[in-house]
């Protein structure tokens, strides 16, 4: 069975997992990844990866703000969705340490 | 007659002729919802008085028709939760393009339907707001993730509904609830305003009572959109014009790999491979066995690609800009980790971890890159088969609706229930599920669905054959 360093992956995903959750997840993920191991049977030498089902190309346009989007009440509609805000800013815990 | 039993096509005509109004329809729907939805729970929010509409001409294709919306498609100034606690209190600042198109077509937007959290699931059981139940048997699941949309259309508590499909999330619940559901070609419908799950797979599509409504709605929804650079600027034909065309000489491929799977119910196999194929041949279509040799690898590819894209798309839910935030006042890192740890449900966390792992340094080549290469193989299989046949016929789901809780503790088993629908998303091709029979289990008659798949942008052919097939059943 494939083994995952769950603590490390959870840290990368910025996701807090309890001990009980990790105990449950470990065998489940192992089972899923063991199933996925079957992909090794497919010959893929020289095969281009498909990241997208259609052949798309870049779409360019002028970089202009949408008039409606910059109206103050529109900005408030976005700010209001934040669990913590002040004026037109999102509020987060302090991120710069005090000099000691 | 109760207006909630009519189709969108019929109701638009009645409204146009002044025989009824959208208020009359909403009143009948509200009554039906009050009678049935406390046991089915297809809706997460419904307010008959708070429907949205625009003034349009009577010629508008959906004139006066109420449409229910899956809770991952944005409607301006309305709450949207994606079935998740982490989006509690979020109010959408804008309309999805599909909502704009429905409003311009005369539709009335009402009611938000339940779904698996962030569309992660095949049973509608992972919703933070509790499971939806199958109207054909309340002890069984409606399928997922668009389970609420399928259940309300089947229960006649909605006329039609929008869903989204990343690995079968429109077609599998349509099959389990006995309604019609189409996943259009990748790029056919704009996804602006759809909360993203897996961006190389997601598509929006309608769930309806019949094929004509499916064609009517897709005609409204389809077309390129400057706000979604992955939408395709391919002309949209009048899908209704494909209905009633005969299917004489049409070539139908039946992939042998889809019928040798363990876990395929004999009743489903018989309904699709024998009965449906016979009915279609009687109308002049020709069925032949074809091979899609990489079918067995589709689930493996999907459960690397979809979680990888999901883990990236869900990075934005960090408790800062929208939704729920954990009350603890630690540092920023703690805020992220605790908000996400408690805001997401177990299936969402499982997929975020799986995706983060597949994309992480040292494992990327072994998992994500390899999966993308096998995806190419799967796509090539379809390219080859569509050189020989016009459409492919398969079951939509290996079994009829399963019981609540039956697969909830075994994620891999739940994933395997998507075996027939996933390939169409990986290859980007359109596919439709149509009711084709029933299987009696525990004394209840449970719907069976079949699936037609076609070449990219060939939805017209899907409607043509699905309508011809449907006509033999009414």
Q: Where are the domains of chain A?
A: 6-40
pLDDT, one tens digit per residue, over A44-97 is 999 999 998 887 778 888 888 776 767 888 888 889 999 999 988 999 998 887
Are A42 and B427 in contact (CB < 8 Å)? no
Are B354 and A40 in contact (CB < 8 Å)? no
List all residues of chain B from 194 to 253 with a beta carbon under 8 Å from chain A: 200, 226, 229-230, 232
Backbone torsions φ then ψ of B271, nearest 5 degrees: -65, -35
Are A13 and B352 in contact (CB < 8 Å)? yes
pLDDT at A54: 84
Distance CA B166, CA B222 (A): 17
Assess A31–B contact: CB distance below 8 Å, yes or no.
yes
Cis peptide before B145 (omega within 30 of 0): yes
Assess A21–B contact: CB distance below 8 Å, yes or no.
yes
Backbone torsions φ then ψ of B194, nearest 5 degrees: -95, 125
State the best of A83, A84, A96, A98 to mutate against chain B, taking most chain B CBs within 10 Å.
A83
pLDDT at A3: 80
By C-alpha distance, the chain A residue nearest B329 is A93
Find the radius of gyration of the CA atoms of chain A.
23
Region of B18 (left: φ > 0; alpha: ψ -120 to 50; beta: rest) is left
Assess A6–B contact: CB distance below 8 Å, yes or no.
yes
Are A32 and B360 in contact (CB < 8 Å)? no
Q: Which residues of chain B have pLDDT under 50?
A: none
Provide the 10 A C-beta neighbour count for residue A54: 16
Are B187 and A54 in contact (CB < 8 Å)? yes
- To the nearest whole Å, the CA of A100 is away from the closest chain B CA by 18
Cα separations (Å) of B42 from A14, B156, B157, B448?
Answer: 33, 11, 9, 20
List all residues of chain B from 18 to 57 with a beta carbon under 8 Å from chain A: none
Helix pair B147-154, B22-40: axis angle to 10 deg: 110
A-chain CB neighbours of B321 within 8 Å are 78, 81-82, 90
| Domains in chain B: boundaries | 3-242
Which residues have CB under 8 Å from A30's CB, separation 6+? A1, A2, A3, A4
Residue A98 pLDDT greater than 80, yes or no: no
Which residues have CB under 8 Å from B442's CB, separation 6+? B137, B139
Per-position DSSP letters for B33-56, written without gaps between them: HHHHHHHH--EEE--GGG-B----
Distance CA A24, CA A28 (A): 7
Which residues, listed in sequence order, are joined to residue B454 by a DSSP beta bridge? B391
Q: The tokens of B451 are what?
A: 């699936």
The reply to whether ipTM tops 0.90 is yes
| Domain formed by B3-242, architecture | Alpha-Beta Complex (3.90)
Instruction: Report the alpha-carbon angle B374-B376-B379, nearest 5.
Output: 115
| Extended beta strands in chain A, E state | 85-86, 89-90
Instruction: Report the alpha-carbon angle B248-B474-B219, nearest 5.
Output: 70
Residue A57 burial by CB count (10 A; 0-12/13-18/19+): exposed, middle or buried?
exposed
Distance CA B474, CA B471 (A): 6
pLDDT at B215: 98
Burial A5-37 (b: 16+ CB within 10 A, else e): ebeebbebbbbbbeeebeeebeebbebbbebbe
pLDDT at B261: 64
pLDDT, one tens digit per residue, over B317-326 is 999 998 899 9
User: Are B123 and B402 in contact, with CB atoms under 8 Å apart?
Assistant: yes
Q: The tokens of B222 are what?
A: 């389809």
Find the radius of gyration of the CA atoms of chain B.
21
Which residues have CB under 8 Å from B25's CB, separation 6+? B3, B4, B11, B15, B64, B65, B66, B108, B159
- To the nearest whole Å, the CA of A27 is away from the closest chain B CA by 11
- The answer, as to whether pTM is greater than 0.90, is yes
Closest CA to A84 of B335, B85, B369: B335
- To the nearest whole Å, the CA of B428 is away from the closest chain A CA by 5
Which pLDDT band holds residue A100 (cuts at 50, 70, 90)?
low
User: Are B320 and A92 in contact, with CB atoms under 8 Å apart?
Assistant: yes
């Amino acid at each position: 069975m494939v083994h995952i360093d769950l603590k490390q992956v959870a840290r990368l995903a910025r996701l807090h997992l309890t001990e009980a959750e990790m105990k449950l997840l470990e065998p489940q993920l192992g089972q899923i990844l063991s199933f996925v191991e079957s992909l090794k049977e497919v010959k893929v030498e020289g095969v281009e990866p498909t990241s997208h089902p259609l052949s798309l190309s870049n779409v360019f346009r002028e970089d202009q703000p949408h008039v409606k989007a910059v109206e103050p009440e529109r900005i408030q509609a976005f700010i209001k969705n934040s669990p913590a805000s002040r004026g037109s800013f999102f509020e987060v815990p302090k991120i710069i340490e005090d000099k000691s | 007659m109760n207006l909630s039993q009519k189709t969108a096509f019929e109701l638009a005509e009645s409204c146009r002729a002044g025989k009824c109004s959208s208020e009359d329809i909403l009143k009948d729907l509200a009554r039906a919802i009050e009678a049935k939805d406390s046991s089915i729970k297809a809706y997460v929010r419904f307010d008959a008085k708070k429907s949205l509409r625009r003034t349009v001409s009577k010629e508008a294709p959906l004139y006066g028709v109420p449409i229910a919306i899956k809770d991952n498609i944005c409607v301006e100034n309305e709450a949207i939760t994606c079935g998740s606690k982490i989006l509690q209190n979020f109010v959408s600042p804008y309309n999805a393009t599909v909502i704009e198109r429905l409003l311009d077509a005369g539709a009335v937007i009402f009611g938000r339907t339940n779904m698996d959290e962030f569309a992660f699931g095949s049973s509608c059981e992972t919703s933070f707001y509790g499971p939806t139940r199958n109207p054909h048997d309340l002890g069984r699941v409606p399928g997922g993730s668009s389970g609420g949309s399928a259940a309300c259309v089947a229960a006649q508590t909605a006329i039609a509904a929008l869903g989204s499909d990343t690995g079968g999330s429109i077609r599998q619940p349509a099959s389990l609830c006995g309604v019609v559901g189409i996943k259009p070609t990748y790029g056919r419908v704009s996804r602006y305003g759809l909360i993203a799950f897996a961006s190389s797979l997601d598509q929006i599509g309608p769930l309806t009572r019949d094929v004509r409504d499916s064609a009517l709605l897709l005609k409204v929804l389809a077309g390129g959109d400057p706000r979604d650079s992955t939408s395709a600027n391919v002309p949209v034909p009048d899908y209704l014009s494909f209905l009633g065309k005969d299917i004489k000489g049409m070539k139908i491929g039946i992939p042998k790999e889809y019928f040798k799977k363990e876990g395929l119910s004999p009743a489903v196999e018989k309904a699709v491979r024998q009965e449906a194929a016979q009915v279609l041949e009687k109308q002049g279509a020709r069925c032949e066995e074809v091979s899609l040799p990489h079918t067995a690898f589709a689930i493996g590819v999907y459960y690397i690609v979809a979680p990888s894209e999901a883990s990236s798309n869900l990075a934005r839910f960090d408790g800062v800009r929208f939704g729920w935030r954990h009350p603890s006042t630690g540092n920023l890192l703690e805020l992220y980790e605790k908000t996400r740890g408690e805001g997401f449900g177990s299936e969402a966390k499982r997929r975020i971890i799986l995706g983060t792992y597949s994309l992480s340094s040292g494992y990327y080549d072994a998992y994500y890159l390899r999966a993308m290469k096998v995806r190419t193989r799967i796509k090539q299989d379809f390219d080859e088969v569509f050189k020989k046949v016009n459409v492919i016929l398969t079951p939509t789901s290996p079994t009829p609706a399963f019981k609540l809780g039956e697969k909830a503790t075994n994620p891999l088993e739940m994933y395997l229930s998507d075996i027939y629908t996933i390939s169409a998303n990986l290859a980007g091709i359109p596919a439709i599920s149509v009711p084709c029979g029933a299987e009696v289990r525990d004394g209840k008659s449970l719907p069976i669905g079949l699936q037609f798949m076609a070449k990219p942008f060939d939805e017209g052919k899907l409607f043509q054959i699905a309508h011809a097939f449907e006509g033999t059943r009414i």
